[in-house]
């Protein structure tokens, strides 16, 4: 890939809000036109991303271990069952709703874990001195943003089921603490994606050069 001119090298910074090109200055600079902070790169991008990612990974554990939903149907007058993401998925699969099971599997297991792995890959690559496949990494980054919209599917399922399945006495469903952690995972990974500055991927080459 041809080396293109970069604003940072030319001593300019583009305001991320209004697009005004400013001279590169100190750290705490403001856009003269819109008062937005202007920075050549997102500050502490890598460390913030790492922080959010690690928090997400930590939250991912209780999200999968703790029950996300409590269902109770006629007969289990006292017990009812707590379902974790995985056990609910298995129930769906066993009860013949393989489609829904697959959907939940993709939305609740594949996407979050993929996001976490992908972010980790981006971060590692961004810090590596020897760059490789920047274009693929960028594509991965775009895909992350795209997929992020759908990460909340599981939370929505629980919210919907809880609201809809409320036949007093016959069957009831209630959210459990696990879904909070799952939501946290989604939010944290989105924050991690946001705080990651893809421009760092190009900076590596510049540094090398």
Partner 1 sequence: MAEEPIVAGQPIVTRTRWHLPLVWIVPIVCALIALSLLARHVISAGPEIHVFFQTAEGLEVDKTQVKFKDVPIGTVTGIKESDDLSHVIVSIDLHRSASMFARSDTRFWVVRPRVGLGGISGIGTLISGAYIGADPGKGGHKATTFTGLEEPPPVTSASHGTQFTLHSDNLGSLDLGSPVYYRRLKVGQVVSYALDSDGQGVTIGVFIDSPNDRYVTRSTRFWNASGIDVSLGADGFKLSTQSLASVAAGGIAFYDPPWAQNERAPAAAGMRFELLKDESTAMEKPKGVPLYISMKFEKDLRGLSVNAPVEFVGVEIGKVLSISIDYDPKTQHFPIIVGAVIYPLLLGRVFQDEMTSEPQERSRRIAAMMTDMVGRGLRAQARNGNLLTGQLYIAIDFLPRAAKVAFDGSAQPIQIPTAPGALDNVQQEISDIVAKIDKIPFDSIGQHLDQDLSELKGSLDQLNKTILPDASRTLADARKTIQAATDVLSGESPLRQDVQRTLDELRRSARSLRVLTEYLSRHPESLIRGKPKDLPPELAAPGDVAAPAPSPPR
Please report, as ranges, the residues that interact with partner 1 according to CB under 8 A. Answer: 12-13, 20-33, 38, 43-44, 47-48, 51-52, 54-56, 58-59, 61-62, 66, 74-79, 81, 184, 188, 191, 195
Residue 62 CB, nearest approach to partner 1 (Å): 5
Select 90 or 143, whichever has its Cβ closest to partner 1. Answer: 90
Select 83 or 108, whichever has its Cβ closest to partner 1. Answer: 83
Residue 139 CB, nearest approach to partner 1 (Å): 26
What is the torsional sign of CA 63, 137, 43, 208?
Answer: positive
Select 47 or 136, whichever has its Cβ closest to partner 1. Answer: 47
Residue 188 CB, nearest approach to partner 1 (Å): 7
Select 66 or 138, whichever has its Cβ closest to partner 1. Answer: 66
Residue 42 CB, nearest approach to partner 1 (Å): 11
Select 178 or 198, whichever has its Cβ closest to partner 1. Answer: 178
Residue 163 CB, nearest approach to partner 1 (Å): 26
């Amino acid at each position: 890939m041809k080396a293109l001119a970069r604003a940072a090298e030319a001593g300019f910074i583009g305001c991320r809000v209004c697009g005004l090109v400013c001279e590169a200055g100190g750290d705490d600079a403001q856009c003269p036109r819109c008062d937005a902070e202007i920075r050549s790169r997102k500050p502490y991008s890598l460390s913030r991303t790492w922080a959010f990612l690690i928090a997400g990974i930590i939250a991912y554990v209780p999200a999968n271990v703790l029950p996300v939903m409590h269902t109770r149907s006629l007969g289990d007058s006292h017990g009812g069952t707590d379902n974790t993401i995985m056990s609910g998925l298995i129930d769906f699969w066993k009860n013949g709703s393989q489609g829904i099971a697959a959907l939940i599997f993709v939305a609740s297991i594949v996407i979050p874990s993929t996001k976490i792995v992908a972010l980790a890959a981006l971060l590692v690559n961004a810090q590596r001195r020897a760059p490789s496949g920047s274009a693929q990494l960028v594509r991965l980054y775009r895909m992350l943003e795209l997929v992020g919209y759908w990460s909340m599917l599981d939370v929505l399922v629980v919210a919907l089921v809880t609201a809809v399945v409320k036949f007093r006495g016959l069957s009831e469903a209630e959210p459990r603490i696990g879904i909070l952690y799952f939501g946290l995972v989604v939010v944290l990974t989105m924050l991690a994606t946001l705080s990651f500055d893809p421009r760092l991927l190009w900076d590596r080459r510049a540094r090398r050069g």
